[in-house]
Amino acid sequence: MRRLLLIGIGVGDPAYVTVEAIAALNEADVLFVVEKPDERRELVRLREEICSRYIEDESACRIVHVADPERDRGAQAYRSAVEDWRRRRADAWEAALAAELGPDECGAFLVWGDPSLYDSTLAVVDDVLARGSVSFEHRVIPGIGSVQVLAARFRIPLNRVGGAVQITPGRLLREGWPAGVDDVVVMLDATSAFRVVADEGLEIYWGAYLGTPDELLLSGPLDEALMDEIERVRADARERKGWIMDTYLLRRRRQVR
């Protein structure tokens, strides 16, 4: 039976690659490398460094490049644009697995951070399996995601006593503060969604490039000065490096629930 390993590799620092992930990397006969059209050279280099540092015999592992289809980020209908993109990803992965993974071989995909959070790998693999043309067993190896690194950097727990935490994309925060929570982690915020909720009496814990040598951290009461500072630091960094990934926790100063 074919096997497929979906390996979380952490969010930057090769030290975040777990012992389980290293064992999985060394189990793979074929490493499927998904190449995004706009992928940053720096992230490719990091993936290469992880492989060369941890795979004991790289010559025993075939690398297969799988081109990731373009995603229509300008589409009005967000959900249908994502579904269309996932379907085209499943087409590409199904074809690669059928052509490149032998009946008794083990394949692996490397996943940024942890595969369970804002990553479509697991959904795409489920789609491929549901189609029924290629069959395989699969296993997920957890990784250290940006949210855990953010909390560790600020030396804070994500929840407060008996409280809930919500993780949301910036797109939804722009619709307003979510009901029923005092602590919200925001990811995938290309703009400054925190401005929409600035009058909620919040603290912000903001981190960019977490786990990399360029890591940036800012925190404090979410007032005009700090929002300006975050925007300035973020714009400078994006300009300097050409890309940015940032995550933040918004915390109500007075816990209501």
Residue ranges that bind ligand SAM, judged by CB under 6 A = 11-12, 112-114, 117-119, 145-146, 187-188, 207-211, 245-247
Nearer to ligand SAM by C-beta: 107 or 168? 168
- Written in H, E and C, the secondary structure of 39-74 is CCHHHHHHHHHHHHHHCCCHHHCEEEEEECCCCCCC
Q: Which residue number, 61 or 250, has a Cβ lying nearer to ligand SAM?
A: 250
Rank residues 111 and 128 by Cβ distance to ligand SAM and give the closer one: 111
Q: Which of 253, 213, 209 is nearest to 233 (CA)?
A: 209
Q: How far is the CB of 218 from ligand SAM (least distance, A)?
A: 12
- Amino acid sitting at position 44: V
3-state DSSP call for residue 118?
A: coil
How many whole angstroms separate alpha carbon 239 and alpha carbon 246? 14
Question: Residue 154 Cβ, how far from ligand SAM at the closest point, in Å?
Answer: 13
Separation of alpha carbons 32 and 101, rounded Å: 10
From the CB of 73, what's the least distance to ligand SAM, in Å?
13
Residue sitting closest to ligand SAM (CB): 113
Q: Among residues 6 and 106, whose Cβ is nearest to ligand SAM?
A: 6
Q: How far is CA 141 from CA 81, 108, 111, 118, 228, in A?
A: 28, 10, 9, 16, 39
Rounded least distance, CB 241 to ligand SAM, Å: 12
Name which of 173 and 202 has its Cβ closer to ligand SAM.
173
> What's the closest the beta carbon of residue 215 comes to ligand SAM, in angstroms?
8
Q: Give how far Cα 92 sits from Cα of 36, 69, 149, 162, Å.
A: 12, 8, 32, 44
